[in-house]
Structure formats: C-alpha cells, structure tokens
Structure 1
Amino acid sequence: MARLAALLLAAALGALLSFALLAAAVASDYWYILEVADAGDRAGRAERLSSHSGLWRTCEGQNSCIPLIDPFSSKGLDVSPSVQHLLSLHRAVMVVLPLSLILIVCGWVCGLLSSLARSVPLLLLTGCYFLLGGALTLAGVSIYISYSHLAFEETARQYGLQHMQGVHISFGWSVALAWGSCALEALSGTLLLAAARTLSLSRLPGAPHSVAI
C-alpha cells in the first residue's frame, strides 16, 4: 500500500500549498499593475502616477494604500450600466476567491477523514470536491481578469484614449499565485481520485496484498 500512502500524502501537501498560495494572493496588492511611462516630465512624476492594486486596496506611487470602493455598499448608486456591470464583477471576485479558501480547508479536512477511514466513496467524493474547488478558483481569477480589462476600457472611454497612450497595464505576481493555487487544487483532486482507484483495486478478489521473496 506504499503507492496509496504516497498518493494521499502528495494530495494533502498539494492542498496545503494551494491554500497558502491563494491566501497570499488574496492578501497581497499586486494583482493589477499600472505603469505610466516617463514622457520627459519632472523626475519621479511618472513613478508617482504608477500604481498597483489588490482585491481590497490600491497603492499609488510612494503614497500609502487606500481601500477600493466597497462594491457591496454601492448597489444603490446612480451610475451608468457599464459601471454597474464592473461593480457586479468586483462583487463576484470578492465572494468567489475568499470562498475558495474556505472550500480548500473543508476539502483538506474531508480528505484527511477519508484517508483515515480508507473509504473509496469518500475519496472519490473529496477528489471531485477538489476539482470543483479548482474550477471555482479558476472562475474567480478569470472574472478578475475580465473585470480589469473592462475597468481600463471604461477609464479610457471617460478620459480619452490620448490620455492613456503612456499607460501600460499588466498582471502581477498575485495573479500567478492564484493560478498556481488553482493548478495545485486540481492536482490534489486528481491524486485523490487515483488513490480511490488504487484502494478499490487492492480490495478486488484475488488482488495481491503483499509479495513474499
């Protein structure tokens, strides 16, 4: 049963690392990076106009970070439909990704219980649970990317494209951490499904349980 133990251990470590990566991503402020090119203005002006943002706040230049607009308290604002759509996307991201963190913890506990019980149905259920959790994390990151592109387009529409010529946007290492968490969550689910299959095969009539030399 060494193969089974290795699969279960790898799945547990993958789930722990997935949680750590997603927690670091959600708490960090390098999801969205906005850089302003230096067009010959005073030294440091472009740096002050540049910013980086997370899910909860934005940091502009050397200034301290300020909280983003709370999308849940702005439902009644009189804004355009495009801004309302952006706020709804922001709300979705702020719900989905923290929910993914909670689901990883619940999945890890279920995986531990199913491993101790050596239950094939529980291992199958937990493996599918992790795969669905990875899909949820993937959906959250995808929504954030869509939200960021639409927010930039809305800003360019309001201020004019000529004011955005020297602006470069990119996604930071926080997004990379979220992608890594998603991949590890899916890997943990796959390993649990493989462990369930290994355990099921070992219980078939005539299956060898040990080899004597």
Structure 2
Amino acid sequence: MARLGALLVAAALGALLSFALLAAAVASDYWYVLEVADGNHSGPGHAEPLSSHSGLWRICEGQNSCIPLIDPFTSESLDMSTSVQHLISLHRAVMVVLPLSLVLIVCGWVCGLLSSLAQSVPLLLFTGCYFLLGGALTLAGISVYISYSHLAFAETARQYGAQQVQAVRISFGWSSALAWGSCAAETLSGAILLVAARALSLSQRPGGLHSVVV
C-alpha cells in the first residue's frame, strides 16, 4: 500500500502544480511577444528595439503602458469583415476555455481527494480520465490561441502591407510555456491516477496485496 499512497500523493501534487502554472499563465501578459527592429530608432536613447507583449486580457508596450484588449463578448461585429469576426470568435473561445480549465482542475482535485479517501477503484478511474480530458481541454485552448495569434498577425500584414511587417519578429513567451507545463502536469496526474486505480484493484484481489507492496 505504500506504493499506492505514493502514487496518490504524486497525482495530488501534479494537479496542484497544474493549477498553479495555468493560473500564472492566464494572469500574466507574456503569451505573445512582438519585437520591431526599427532602423530609424537606432541612435542614442533608442538602443532597445520596439516591442510589445500581450496576454489574454491586455497588451503592453514597453515596460508599463498596458491597455485592455477589445472585449470579444461585447464587440459589435456587424460592420466587421469575416476575417475579423473569425478572430473575435477565436479570442472568445480562448477566454472561455482556459479559465474553464482552471475550474475543472479544482473540481478534479476534489474528486481525486474523495476517491483517495474512499479507496474506490471506479472513482480513481473516473478522476484519472477526468484529468486526461482536462489536459486535452487545456491543450485545445492553447492550440486555439496559437491559431488566433497567427491569424491576427496575418490580418495585420494584410491591412498594412507585407513590407510594413518585415522587420517584425514574433514569438510566444513564458506565459504560453507555463500553460504547456500545466497541460503536461494535468495529463501526468491523470495517468498516475489510472496507475493508482490499477494498483488498488490488485490490492483488493485475494493474494494481491503482496504484489502491490513490492
């Protein structure tokens, strides 16, 4: 039973880590980083390239000037092009899916705690599958954000001309890396719970306790 206890503790810690990483990712503003190497600003006082970084809720230029992004739930889209409406829909999906993933992690952690205390194989199996589906949901949110970012940059290039964005370098920052880490931790927790369910099932069989202990 020592192995079972270790598996349950590892799954619980993985879920806590997943929540902490995703909460930090959702709250931070370094999902998308944009840098512009402007040759006209290469003199004294302009050593740093122009840059901005954005998160799910706002965009920041320089060090301190941050402005909220357009609220996709209240935006009037009747007079917007189809491509812009599609971007708004993607942004809306991201702002729903990733915070929802946070709530689901908390619910999964509670389910895992209850199934551990009850020593129930079906509950452990359910919670393990729940975390795997939660990891898939987080992955879907990240994928939608990546698609949204690429399409937003393509729309900007279309509106202002490809030559205007030739000096622009884009990348995904540490906030997106935290989200990837959360997805991995949540998936790992689900897999560990499935292994724990298997170990508990073996321990409940006649003569199965020795095989779990060793």
User: How far 1:15 moved relative to its partner?
Assistant: 0.2
Q: Give the whole-Å Cα distance in 2 for the aligned partners of 1:48 and 1:39.
A: 9
Q: Note if 1:180 corresponds to 2:208.
A: no
Q: Note if 1:163 corresponds to 2:164.
A: yes
**Residue matched to 1:189:** 190
**Residue matched to 1:108:** 109
Deviations 1:57-76 (A, max 9, x none): 00012452100000000144
User: How far 1:50 moved relative to its partner?
Assistant: 1.4
Q: Is 1:32–1:54's contact at 8 Å kept on the other side of the alignment?
A: yes
**Residue matched to 1:60:** 61
Q: 1:210 to 1:168 in 2, by over 3 A?
A: closer
Moved over 6 A (4+): none
Deviations 1:106-130 (A, max 9, x none): 0000000000000000000000000
Instruction: Give the root-mean-square deviation of aligned CA atoms.
Output: 1.7
Decide which moves more: 114-123 or 74-83: 74-83
Q: Note if 1:22 corresponds to 2:22.
A: yes
Decide which moves more: 129-138 or 58-67: 58-67
Q: Is 2:124–2:194's contact at 8 Å kept on the other side of the alignment?
A: yes
Q: Is 1:141–1:178's contact at 8 Å kept on the other side of the alignment?
A: yes
Identity across matched positions, percent: 82
Q: 1:210 to 1:150 in 2, by over 3 A?
A: closer
The alignment of Structure 1 onto Structure 2 pairs a total of residues equal to: 211
Counterparts of residues 1-213 of structure 1 (less than 5 Å): 1-41=1-41, 43=43, 47=48, 49-209=50-210
User: How far 1:79 moved relative to its partner?
Assistant: 0.3
Counterpart of 2:57, as a letter, is W
Q: Is 1:48–1:61's contact at 8 Å kept on the other side of the alignment?
A: no
Q: Give the whole-Å Cα distance in 1 for the aligned partners of 2:208 and 2:51.
A: 64
Q: Give the whole-Å Cα distance in 1 for the aligned partners of 2:11 and 2:76.
A: 41
**SS of the residue aligned with 1:30?**
coil
User: How far 1:45 moved relative to its partner?
Assistant: 5.3
Q: Is 1:36–1:47's contact at 8 Å kept on the other side of the alignment?
A: no
Q: 1:76 to 1:41 in 2, by over 3 A?
A: closer
Decide which moves more: 151-160 or 196-205: 196-205
Provide the TM-score with structure 2 as the length reference. Answer: 0.94
Q: Give the whole-Å Cα distance in 2 for the aligned partners of 1:36 and 1:210.
A: 61
Q: Give the whole-Å Cα distance in 1 for the aligned partners of 2:67 and 2:156.
A: 19
**SS of the residue aligned with 1:66?**
strand
Counterpart of 1:187, as a letter, is L
Counterpart of 1:78, as a letter, is D
Q: Is 2:37–2:168's contact at 8 Å kept on the other side of the alignment?
A: yes
User: How far 1:47 moved relative to its partner?
Assistant: 4.7
User: How far 1:38 moved relative to its partner?
Assistant: 3.2
Q: Is 1:48–1:62's contact at 8 Å kept on the other side of the alignment?
A: no
Q: 1:114 to 1:160 in 2, by over 3 A?
A: same
Structure 2 residue runs of 5 or longer lacking an equivalent are none
